[in-house]
Structure 1
Amino acid sequence: MPNYLTPGVYVEEIPSQSKPIEGVGTAVAAFVGLAPGGPINQAVKIANWTQFTRTFGDRLEPKNGPFMEGAYLAHAVYGYFHNGGGSCYVTRIGVKEDAVGQAALPLGAGDGREAYRAIARDGVDGPVKVEIEEEKATADAAATKDVKPASAGDKAADAKGADEPQPRKGTGAGAGGGPDKTYRLVVVAGSTREEFSGLTTRSGESNIVTKVNKQSKLITLEDRSAALPELDRVPATGSYELGIVAGDGREVTSTGLEGDVANRTGIGGLAAIDEITMLCVPDLMALQSNGDTAMVKDVQSKMIAHCEGAADRMAILDAPKGMKPQQIGDWRMDVAGYDSKFAALYYPWIEVMDPLSGGKTPMLVPPCGHVAGIWARSDNTRGVHKAPANEVLLAVNDLEFQVTGDEQANLNKNGINCIRSFSGRGIRIWGARTLSSDPEWRYINVRRLFNYISESIMEGTQWAVFEPNDQRLWMQLKIAATNFLTRTWRSGALFGATPGEAFYVKCDAETNPPDLVEAGQVTVEIGVAPVKPAEFVVFRISQFQIQAA
């Protein structure tokens, strides 16, 4: 209590005895896979598709955006945002030690072909900028200009009375000058600046590749136009920034996907991010394309182990590509054999248009990203307690296989959630089961509801740590949990006509005997009755006779 010595009016702020528990977010996905650009082995928070394109797009081939041949990460993230997903985390796998900065220096023809590839030398870190410009011709250069033997076209011009060889037609920035043009190339890396002048496309000491590779300490140049005629090897002028490309950058390995917790790489690196609730690894299916089906099971098992260890997220698994309904059922039971309440499996693959073909040809992609978007959309519109099923998949044209009702009967009982096409109702998710054999955890929404309740209570009661362990603390914890669960019940997430039927909270001397109090523990016992989805809606219809009056 403060001491009041001077007459006057004083205002005291008294802490509230009620400390409400706020619900945590339930719809934050994490994606691990391949991308043509962006940070390597670093989980980046992405808010929308535009940010993803800007962060993980291909700097060497800007027209491709974040899409790359044989990879599914960009398709999954696009499907996630397009189906209602909010923020997510994206980890681009790769070997960081082999990461190098590269930039494509295009031909002057403007047709997208490369003249040279600029590559940062070992030990050169940070942004590197390369600028190439055409030097103005001088009298000396004109006097010493090499004159090539006239072609058939030149001889025809001579026959018409021309006294000099006709000017050769170059392309792009060097039109009219061909190999006789000279260029200046400037390289800037931090405070270091290199400048090379008098460069040409002709062979010899002044050749742009020869001179730069011999003298530059910042970059090397690869000649990407050596197979073209000399007159067509004219580079475009402009300024280019080297983008990071990871080694080969095109190959998926189980080790790269699994990653490491300590180094914050791959799946393991996501353990440090508490807000993640869904895990997707679409490029895992590239291992199947390489014939490594055993590794598919191994990495999916690691995904499940990661989610079970975190106990606050679920793995969205893709079924292997190309398996018919009978085959996927056998694979799930006899090969995979997963039994986990923290994982869900979806079948079959979905068909979208391939952006690399200009949207002209269809391609099959794993459905995990689109499914994650559906989970997020269902959470935002209905709540985490609603089973994320009977929802339309957007940005999907077709399915790899059309599953019939009889075929799904065999798959559904084994925890395989089918994606089906219905006449006049679109393509929909038609299953909401986990891969658990325990009936208590059969449904996805039940598992995710418990994740939500557990995380919300844990985060909302951090204030209680190191408080005096007495009846007042017990009552405060009970009131906080009761108020939170009452709001949860009112949202329709708990079964029961009254709060007393939907849940109970107990925190008293019975749950906190003296030995636990002496050990520094306080225990709150909570029981909830989650709502289960109406998976089978049955109408019993019969005939009845009208009795005569």
Structure 2
Amino acid sequence: MPTYLSPGVYVEEKASGSAPIAGVGTSVAGFIGTINTNAWSSADSSDESAPSGYAQAGEIKLITNFTEFKKFFGDFLPPSGDSAGQNTLAHAVYGFFRNGGTRCYVVWISEEQQITQVLDDFEAIDEIAIVAAPGNLDFRDDIKDHCEKMGDRIAILDSDEAIDLSATNLVSTLKPFNSNYAALYFPWIQVYDPASNAHIYVPPSGHMAGVYARVDAQKGVHKAPANESILGALDLKYTLSKAKQDGFNPDGINCIRKLNGNILVWGARTLGGDANTEFKYVNIRRHFCYLRDSIDKGTQWVVFEPNTPELWAKIRRNISAFLTVEWRKGALFGTKIEEAFFVKCDEETNPPEIRDLGQVVTEIGVAVVKPAEFVIFRLSQWSGTQG
């Protein structure tokens, strides 16, 4: 309490004891490349390391443009032999930036190394919201487990490049597991490769991470990243029909299709599809990750505060204000706030036995916006008269 010695009016600043909840980023990607150290042609390279000046195995670099990528990982290299892994990573990162990505973390490892340490390091980077290992099918389980463990990110997975479309067990061939923290895209896309001056096929995960970022920036994370063009894609490894996709979509195998001359993302499901029940859509999983992470980071001030009705009221105000903004952006369903969400933090959620444990419990319910996946027009002839 300040001491006042002379008459007058004194204005004091007082901290509110809380802070508004700000939405976290949703489009920062983490890319893991598999590179043979013989890929780089350099006099000072060796079997154990990359050339001098390049990122070494397991060294994570923040990349904000493709020029930075070339500085640490090299330019496009011939897409065959020892250079195949480096070229795949280069095309993934290039496709990410071309499609709308702005920030990503990139790391490479060799085939002999374990991915465990890299994913442990990714855990410490809060802003990563998307994880991909372009073209590497052996890491899909690891990346999926990492995303499920973290709860604030999603894995974008690739399929095999070559698939026998006439096989009878296509779904089991394409789908490695069910997970509402992963999305898989099929088939591979064709792009122009500067190193070989030819058209080659590359896995779509890097380009798809860029599509996620573009949709997030233009419409918000609540919008499904589908019915979107893949910039840089010239053609597809396989041309898929509607009938063929009918067998893939229920299991969450997202197809990329050529429609009306455009190469479009024509699926918006998490891997497993209908089996993932309320989290069968990519945008709903990502929106929940966003809400969870934003509320978590925006309410850290609550820790160690007196667990009283005054604190409960502050929690309700802060979370309600944040969700109101989400509703006004169109991210929550309902014509009125009461239909869009509820926040309950009171004596009922915090009885004496809960308070004795040092806990404060808040229940939050949100009405999410689901994508119009099936648009149905019932068309019939009309005589022009009524009655």
Same fold (TM > 0.5): yes
Correspondences of 1:114-263 after superposition (within 5 Å): 252-253=111-112, 255-256=113-114, 258-260=115-117
CA distance in 1, matches of 2:229, 2:356: 55
| Match in the other structure for 1:31 | 31
What code does the residue aligned with 2:193 have? Answer: D
1:13-52 deviation digits (Å, cap 9, x = unpaired): 1113662111000000000114543232122111111111
In structure 1, C-alpha distance between the alignment counterparts of 2:322 and 2:328, rounded to whole Å: 10
The answer to whether the Cα contact below 8 Å between 1:312 and 1:451 also exists between their aligned partners in 2 is yes
Cα pair 1:324 1:401 within 8 Å, conserved? no
Aligned partner of 1:210 in structure 2 is: none
The residue aligned with 2:267 is 431
Which amino acid is 2:265 matched to?
I
RMSD of aligned alpha carbons:
2.2
Distance 1:377 1:548 in 2: 48
Query: Residues 331 and 267 (structure 1 numbering): CA distance in 2 closer, same or farther, change over 3 Å?
Result: farther
Residue 100 of structure 2 is matched in structure 1 by: 84
Query: Are 2:227 and 2:265, in contact at CA under 8 Å, matched by a contact in 1?
Result: yes
Match of 1:351 among 190, 202, 215: 190
Q: Which residue of 1 aligns with 2:124?
A: 272
Give yes or no for the alignment of 1:519 onto 2:357.
yes
SS at match of 1:486: helix
CA distance in 2 between partners of 1:312 and 1:547 (Å):
56
Q: Secondary structure at the match of 2:102?
A: coil
1:372 is paired with a residue whose SS is helix
CA-CA distance at 1:54 after TM superposition: 1.5
1:260-313 CA deviation, whole Å, 9 max, x = no partner? 2xxxxx33321111111101101415xxxxxxxxxx2xx211111000000000
1:308 equivalent in alignment to 2:148: yes
Q: Which string of whole-angstrom CA distances, capped at 9 and with x for unpartnered residues, describes residues 151-186 of structure 1?
A: xxxxxxxxxxxxxxxxxxxxxxxxxxxxxxxxxxxx
Q: TM-score, normalised by structure 1?
A: 0.63
Change (3 A) 1:17 1:335: closer
Aligned to 1:22: 22
Pair 17,467 (structure 1): closer, same or farther in 2 beyond 3 Å: closer
AA paired with 1:317?
A: L
Report the Cα distance in structure 2 between the residues aligned to 1:545 and 1:353, rounded to whole angstroms: 54
- What secondary structure sits across from 1:324 in the alignment? coil
Matched, 1:409 2:246: yes
- Aligned-partner Cα distance in 2 for 1:531–1:41: 39
Give the count of matched residue pairs.
Answer: 365
Alignment gaps of 5+ in structure 2 = 41-53
1:382 aligns with 2:211: no
**Pair 270,330 (structure 1): closer, same or farther in 2 beyond 3 Å:** farther
CA contact (8 A) 2:130 2:153 kept: yes
Does the CA contact (< 8 Å) of 1:313 and 1:342 recur in 2? yes
Which whole-Å CA distance do the structure 2 matches of 1:548 and 1:284 have between them? 62
- Conservation of the 8 A alpha-carbon contact between 2:349 and 2:363: yes
SS of residue in 2 equivalent to 1:277 = strand
Match of 1:44 in 2: 61
* Secondary structure of 2:62's aligned partner: strand
The one-letter code sitting in structure 2 at the alignment partner of 1:311 is G
Q: Which residue of 1 aligns with 2:74?
A: 57
8 Å CA contact retained: 2:62, 2:104: yes
- Deviations 1:356-403 (CA, angstroms, capped at 9, x unpaired): 21x2x2111100000000000000000000000000001111110001
Is residue 84 of structure 2 the alignment partner of residue 70 of structure 1?
yes
Percent identical pairs in the alignment equals 47
Tell me, yes or no, if the aligned pair for 1:32 and 1:267 is still in contact at 8 Å.
no
Sort the Cα spacing of 1:17 and 1:65 in 2 relative to 1 into closer, same or farther, 3 A.
Answer: farther
Distance 1:40 1:6, change over 3 A: farther
- Tell me whether 1:473 sits opposite 2:330 in the alignment: no
Which has the larger Rg?
A: 1
User: What amino acid maps onto 2:145 in structure 1?
Assistant: A
Determine if contact 2:159/2:174 at 8 Å carries over to the other structure. Answer: no
Kindly provide the CA deviation profile for residues 226-279 of structure 1, in whole angstroms up to 9, marking residues without a partner as x.
Answer: xxxxxxxxxxxxxxxxxxxxxxxxxx34x43x232xxxxx33321111111101
Q: CA deviation at 1:9?
A: 4.9
Residue 47 of structure 2 aligns with which residue?
Answer: none
> Relative to structure 1, is the Cα distance of residues 76 and 21 closer, same or farther in structure 2, using a 3 angstrom cutoff?
same
How far apart in 1 are the matches of 2:184 and 2:173?
A: 15
Which amino acid in structure 2 is aligned with residue 461 of structure 1?
A: T
Is the aligned partner of 1:324 residue 2:181?
no
Secondary structure in 2 aligned to 1:70?
helix
Report the secondary structure of 1:10's partner residue: coil
Q: Is the 8 A contact 2:191 2:201 kept in 1?
A: yes
Change in 2 beyond 3 A, CA 1:14/1:75: same
Change (3 A) 1:545 1:518: same
Q: Deviations 1:382-426 (Å, cap 9, x if unpaired)? A: 0000000000001111110001110001011111000011123x1
Query: Could you tell me how far 1:337 is from its partner in structure 2?
Result: 4.3
Residues 15 and 407 of structure 1: CA distance in aligned 2, closer, same or farther (over 3 Å): same
| Structure 1: distance between partners of 2:171 and 2:124 | 30
* Structure 1 alignment gaps of length 5 or more: 95-251, 261-265, 286-295
How far apart, in 2, do the equivalents of 1:8 and 1:65 lie? 78
- SS of residue paired to 1:308: helix
- The residue identity in structure 1 corresponding to 2:155 is A
One-letter amino acid of the counterpart of residue 500, structure 1: E
TM-score w.r.t. the length of structure 2 is: 0.89
